Amino acid sequence: MSQNHPITIMFSAGEVSGDQHAANMFLEIKKIQPSIKAIGMGGKSMAQAGIDVRFDATAIAVIGLFEIIKHLPEIRAVLKRMQQIIVDEKPDLLVCVDYKEFNLRLARFAKAQGVKVLFYVSPQVWAWRPGRVKTYGKAIDMMAVIFPFETAFYEAEQVPVRYVGHPSVDKVKPQFSKMEDLQRFGLDNARLVVGLLPGSRTNEITRLLPVMLEAAVQLQIKHPELQFILPQADSVADVLLHSYLQAASVKVTVIKQQPYEVIQCCDAVMICSGTASLETALLQVPMVITYKLSPFTYWVRWLINTPFIGLPNIMAGKAVVKELIQQDATPEALAAEVDKILTDADYRQNMCAELQQIKQQLGQGGGSKNMALLALEMLQLF
- Backbone CA torsion sign across 108, 110, 112, 115: negative
The least confident of 60-69, 97-106, 143-152, 239-248 is 60-69
pLDDT at 70 over 70: no
Q: How far apart are CA 82 and CA 88, in angstroms?
A: 10
pLDDT at 2 over 50: no
Q: How far apart are CA 362 and CA 165, in angstroms?
A: 7
Q: How far apart are CA 193 and CA 246, in angstroms?
A: 20
Q: Estimate to the nearest angstrom the gap between the alpha carbon of 196 and the chain centroid.
A: 16
Contacts 24+ apart (CB under 8 A), 42-46: 42/11, 42/12, 42/13, 42/18, 43/13, 43/16, 43/19, 43/234, 43/235, 44/19, 44/234, 45/19, 45/20, 45/234, 46/11, 46/13, 46/19, 46/22
Q: How far apart are CA 97 and CA 75, in angstroms?
A: 16
pLDDT at res. 295: 55
Which position has the higher pLDDT, 144 or 233?
A: 144
pLDDT at res. 176: 96
pLDDT at 92 over 50: yes
What does the pLDDT average to over 60-68?
A: 57
If we measure between CA atoms, which residue out of 209, 206, 179 comes closest to residue 195? 209
What are 158-198's pLDDT values in tens digits?
999 999 998 889 889 999 999 999 999 999 999 999 999 99
Statement: the pTM of the whole predicted model exceeds 0.85: no
Q: How far apart are CA 369 and CA 24, in angstroms?
A: 8
Q: How far apart are CA 20 and CA 24, in angstroms?
A: 6
Q: How far apart are CA 15 and CA 98, in angstroms?
A: 8
pLDDT at 364 over 90: no
- Phi and psi at residue 222, to the nearest 5°: -80, -35
What does the pLDDT average to over 206-222?
A: 96
pLDDT at 129 over 80: no
pLDDT at 68 over 70: no
If we measure between CA atoms, which residue out of 235, 275, 260 comes closest to residue 367? 275
What are 187-205's pLDDT values in tens digits?
999 999 999 999 988 889 9
pLDDT at res. 168: 86
Structural domains of the chain ordered from first start: 8-167+366-378 (3.40.50.2000), 178-361 (3.40.50.2000)
Q: How far apart are CA 10 and CA 325, in angstroms?
A: 36
The least confident of 226-235, 297-306, 313-322, 333-342 is 297-306
73 confidence band (pLDDT: 50, 70, 90): confident
pLDDT at res. 202: 85
pLDDT at res. 382: 65
Cβ atoms within 10 Å, residue 131:
8
Q: How far apart are CA 272 and CA 205, in angstroms?
A: 9
